[in-house]
Amino acid sequence: MAKKGTILIIDDEEDILFSLKFLLKQHFASVFTDTNPYQLPRLLRQHEPDVVILDMNFGKGRDSGAEGLEWLKKIKELSPETPVVTMTAYSDVSIAVDALKSGAQDFVEKPWRNEKILATIKGVFARSVSEKKVEQLERAQKVLTQAIDQPFVEIVGDSPEMNEVFATIEKVAATDAHVLVLGENGTGKELIARALHRQSNRANQVFIPVDMGAIPESLFESELFGHKKGAFTGAHQDRIGRLEAASGGTLFLDEIGNLNMSSQSKLLNVLQTHEIIPVGSNKPVKIDIRLICATNMPLYQMVDEQEFRQDLLYRINTVEIHLPPLRGRRADIEPLARHYLNTYRKKYQKSNLDFSSDAINKLINYHWPGNVRELKHIIERTVIMGDGQKIQAEDIILTSSKPSSRKTTEKVLTIDEMEETLIREVMRKHNGNITKAATELGLTRTSLYRRLEKYGI
């Protein structure tokens, strides 16, 4: 195994330097020595040592350790993260204590025993390496978070409706208040949640998103609370749930309306007690989360129909943010379109591509059932298929049309189109009541919600 680590030794006795270097060279990659402590600034810059071994007395007749303490402080000023091991005579215990108080990681006594000094230096080096790795990971995480999560990234808009949303985020973000984000599919609810997290006091902690619509009912507890090995068939090892993983940070529960009544009760209990009990365990685990929920479902109507717990709704909506549909903020359509145009022309190397005025008008006048998500997909497809330097109105193929303008004569409908037509008609018939529509269609509520999202209804 290759030797690692750089050691710097400062002592005014040449024989000590020679002995230590000979010993440590067998265990570390590089060992540098010097008798003159005034060379320390240069040596620290030049060698970037992992450990400095520093004598506490320089010059004959000096035994107070004062000089060594001054150089120890200097090292800590020049390179705070570099660990220092001090060397003192056997009788100078008080000097060693003073050195530890001043920032030394450990000390060794003269004369030393080889196995003792090796154990000390190796221990200090190992701790130093571990701390550097942690610091590197934290820095990398911070850089990555900043790169990915710029404030309001992709939340483009200057309409009065969006400015109201931004103002609410500014007021709420710094608190630990639970937030409920309401809005249609494709409006950017997760982006709002991330913006709240980035501007909160938990910004340096984790943000964990969970799509509740994608978790089967049978796995709810395992996914959210975690489980112990052997708790059920297939539980081959302990698993930390999303709630515990998010402790200290923010948990984002998307599609919260998909929870059944039993799961709602369990989530409510967690929010009341701030504790979870992993499946297969009897020991409660304390958690500290900031909860943000989102849904496109009519929670208040569901409360009236006894499909969503009123007490849970009160717990999760300390503050509500209503995210308007794209058709409700038409002033933002052109800025959003240009934002995605800039993104995709860079991606597909079509830097000169631009919109014609007719193309912009076509986008502004469209009703956008799929909201911002639909706009994003249409712009990407248009850039990919576009020729020349101008995107004309006819180049933009919109994915759907208003129900009132759908042509039903002399046209063969696909299965998907027939299903979409049927769902729209049933939803209109029941005034958007999900339960009644799902019953008439012979679908579960979850299945109906997936189709509503699929067709942008």
d(CA 248, CA 251): 9
Q: Do the Cβ atoms of 283 and 275 come closer than 8 Å?
A: no
Closest of 175, 212, 187, 180 to residue 292, by C-alpha:
180
| Domain assignment present for 150 | no
Residue 344 and residue 303 share a domain: no
Same domain, 169 and 242: yes
State how far the Cα of 434 lies from the Cα of 438, in Å rounded to an integer. 6
Is 0.75 surpassed by the pTM of this model?
Answer: no
Q: What is the pLDDT of residue 139?
A: 56
Shared domain for 87 and 206, answered yes or no, is no
CATH number at residue 286: 3.40.50.300
- Domains contained in the chain, number: 4
- Residue 350 tokens read as 């079509």
The reply to whether 433 falls in a domain is yes
Q: How many CB atoms lie within 10 A of CB 159?
A: 16
**Would you say 172 and 312 are in contact if contact means Cβ atoms under 8 Å apart?**
no
Given 276, 298, 324, which residue is the final one in a domain?
A: 324
- For residues 167 and 193, membership in a common domain is answered with yes
For residue 302, list its beta bridge partners: none
Residue 153 domain-assigned?
no
Give yes or no: residues 52 and 32 share one domain: yes
Q: Show the beta-strand stretches assigned E in 191-296.
A: 207-211, 226-227, 239-240, 250-254, 275-276, 285-286, 290-295
> Which residues form the domain of 445?
404-455
Same domain, 412 and 342: no
Residue 144 has a pLDDT of 47
pLDDT of residue 407: 41
Last residue of a domain, one of 324, 355, 386: 324
Residues 386 and 377: their CA atoms lie apart, in Å, by: 14
**Selection from 128, 115, 105 nearest residue 48 by Cα:** 128
Domain identity same for 316 and 214: yes
Q: Mark whether 192 and 318 lie in a shared domain.
A: yes
β-bridge mates for residue 60, sequence order: none
**Same domain for 227 and 91:** no
- What is the CATH number for 369? 1.10.8.60
Cα 409 from chain centre:
51
Which amino acid makes up residue 45? R
Instruction: Give me the pLDDT at residue 404, please.
Output: 39
Domain co-membership, 166 together with 301: yes
Contact between 104 and 86 under an 8 Å Cβ cutoff? The reply is yes
Environment class of residue 424 by beta-carbon count within 10 Å: exposed (0-12), middle (13-18) or buried (19+)? Answer: middle
User: For every one of its 457 residues, what pLDDT tens digit does the chain have, with 9 covering 90 and above?
Assistant: 668 899 999 998 899 999 999 999 999 999 999 999 999 999 998 888 999 999 988 866 676 788 889 999 999 998 888 999 998 875 566 787 888 888 899 988 888 889 999 999 999 999 888 887 776 666 555 544 544 444 445 688 889 999 999 999 999 999 999 999 999 999 999 999 999 999 999 999 989 999 998 888 888 999 999 988 778 877 777 788 899 989 999 999 999 999 999 999 999 999 999 999 999 888 888 999 999 999 999 999 999 999 999 999 999 999 999 999 999 999 999 999 999 999 999 998 888 899 999 999 999 999 999 999 999 999 999 999 887 789 999 999 987 544 434 443 444 556 777 788 888 888 888 878 888 888 888 788 777 887 887 777 8
Both 411 and 375 in a single domain? no
pLDDT for 117: 92
**Residues 376, 368: contact at Cβ < 8 Å?**
no
